[in-house]
Amino acid sequence: MILDKIESLLAEVKEMKASNAEEIEALRLKYLSKKGEINAVMADFRNVPADQKKEVGMKINELKQTALERLNALRDAIETSEDGDQGLDLTRTAYPIKLGTRHPLTIVKNEIIDIFSRMGFVLADGPEAEDDLHVFTKMNFAADHPARDMQDTFFIEQNPNDVTKNILLRSHTSSVQARVMETSQPPIRIICPGRVYRNEAITARAHCFFHQIEGLYIDKNVSFTDLKQVLLTFAREMFGADTKIRLRPSYFPFTEPSAEMDISCHICGGKGCGFCKHTGWVEILGCGMVDPNVLELCGIDSKVYTGYAFGLGVERITNLKYQVSDLRMFSENDVRFLEEFEGAK
C-alpha cells in the first residue's frame, strides 16, 4: 500500500503547476516541508517489511527528487517568463556589478595632462560653440585671409557685416588661450584640453570632430629653447626615455616662427618601418612662439612679454600609443573595442 501511495504522489508532483512564487511556496509546503506529504511517507518507512525496504526506499528517493526538480523548473519558468516580475527575487544579490572601462581617449588625455601638470601647467576650459573673435580674429587670422580655410568648421550664426560676431564650433582650443589672455596677465602657463570641430569628410584618417590639448606659456624672457625642452620632456615621458624629437618649419597665423614636431618612430626605433612610412619619424604636434600680434590683440604687452604655444591631437597620440587603425572606432561605442583598454590606466 505504501507503494501505491508513493505512486500516486509521484503522479501528483509530476503534474504540479504554479503561476507565481506564492503558489510554488504552497506546493513546497504541501510536499517537501517537515509536515509535508513526502515526510509523512518517510515516517511510514519503518513499518515496511525488511525485504521491501530497498524497493520502497528507492521509490521514496525518486519521489523526493522529482518533486525538487519540478519545483525548480517551475521557479525557472516564472523568472524567465515575460511577466516574470511576479517571481522577482528582491533578495538576490546585485553583485558582482560589471565595471566599465575608461575610454582610450580619456586615458591618453589624462596622461598628457598629468605630464604637463608636473611641469607647472594648469587646466583652462572654454565653450565649444564660440565666436569668431576668439577662434580666429584674436588668433591673428585676418578676416579675408586664406588661413581660415585651414580650419573650416561649422557655422551656427553668420553675420555678414562683422565676421568677428559669427558663432561657430571651435576649430581649435586656441580660443581658450585667447579668453585666458584677455582676462589675466603673465605669467600664464595653461593647457586647454577639449573637443574641436572641422568641416572634413569622415574617413579612417579624418573626422569632423576630434580632441586637442593646446598649451600656452607667456612670461618675461620665454624663448624657443624653453619650448623645445618642454616638448622634449613631454615626448620622453609619453613615448619613452630614448625618444628623439625634430622640429620642421611650418606656418600658423598665431605663431612666428612656427614648427611641426616629429618624434622618432617608437615602433622601429627610428630605423624606418611601415608605420612611419620608412622615414623613421612621425608627426605629433604643431608649435611656435606666440605672434606679438596675438599678444597685443589679447591685451598683453608684446614689448615686455614673449611666449610659446603648442597644440596636439589626442586621437593622434592615442593612435601612436595603441596603433588604432581607424579613427572612427573612437566614436562608434563598440564595447568590444572599448574593452580592449581594460588593462590600461
Question: Residues within the annotated binding site for Mg(2+)?
Answer: 256
Q: Judged by CB, which is closer to ligand PHE: 153, or 264?
A: 153
Ranges within 136-165 binding ligand PHE (CB under 6 A): none
- 345 in Cβ contact with 107 (< 8 Å): yes
Residues forming a β-bridge with 290: 255
Report the nearest approach of ligand PHE to the CB of residue 199 (Å).
14
Tell me the pairing of strands 255-264 and 245-252.
antiparallel
CB 338 within 8 A of CB 98: no
Residue (87 or 307) nearer to ligand PHE, CB: 307
Nearer CB in complex with ligand PHE: 60/222: 222
- 200: cell is 572634413
Query: Would you say 70 or 170 has its CB closer to ligand PHE?
Result: 170
Residues 107, 123: Cα–Cα separation, whole Å: 16
Q: Examine residue 310 and tell whether it contacts ligand PHE (CB under 6 A).
A: yes
C-alpha gyration radius of the chain: 36
Binding of ligand PHE by 174 (CB under 6 A): yes
Site string for ligand PHE, 267-306 (x = CB under 6 A): -------------------xxx------------------
Contact flag: residue 211 with ligand PHE (CB under 6 A): no
Query: At its nearest, how many Å lie between ligand PHE and the CB of residue 134?
Result: 12
CB of 121 to ligand PHE, least distance (A): 14
Residue 132 near residue 163, CB atoms below 8 Å: yes
Q: Tell me: does residue 197 bind ligand PHE (CB under 6 A).
A: no
Please answer whether residues 176 and 300 qualify as being in contact, where contact means their C-beta atoms are separated by less than 8 angstroms: no
> In the complex with ligand PHE, which residue's Cβ is closer, 177 or 243?
177
Cα distance between residue 25 and residue 32, in whole Å:
10
State the minimum distance, in angstroms, from the CB of residue 97 to ligand PHE.
40
- Smallest distance from the beta carbon of 116 to ligand PHE, in angstroms? 14
The Cα–Cα gap between 267 and 276 comes to: 8
* Whole-angstrom distance, CA of residue 268 vs CA of residue 276: 8
Nearer to ligand PHE, 71 or 261 (CB): 261
* Binding-site residue set: 256
104 within 8 A of 344, measured Cβ to Cβ: yes
d(CA 192, CA 238): 18
Q: How far apart are CA 118 and CA 111, in angstroms?
A: 11
Enumerate residues 218-257 that contact ligand PHE by CB under 6 A.
252, 255
Instruction: Work out how close the CB of 174 gets to ligand PHE at its nearest, in angstroms, rounded to a whole number.
Output: 5
Interaction between residue 309 and ligand PHE (CB under 6 A): yes
Strands 167-169 and 188-197: unpaired
Question: Could you give the C-alpha distances from 330 to 31, 98, 206, 209, 312, in angstroms and in order?
Answer: 58, 21, 12, 11, 17
Q: Determine, following the binding rule CB under 6 A, whether residue 311 of this chain makes contact with ligand PHE.
A: yes
Q: How far apart are CA 155 and CA 132, in angstroms?
A: 10
Instruction: Give the residue, chosen from 172, 179, 266, 316, that forms a contact with ligand PHE under the rule CB under 6 A.
Output: 172
- For ligand PHE, give the closer residue by CB, 136 or 239: 136
Name the closest residue to ligand PHE (Cβ): 311
Q: Which residues bind ligand PHE (CB under 6 A)?
A: 172, 174, 214, 252, 255, 286-288, 309-311
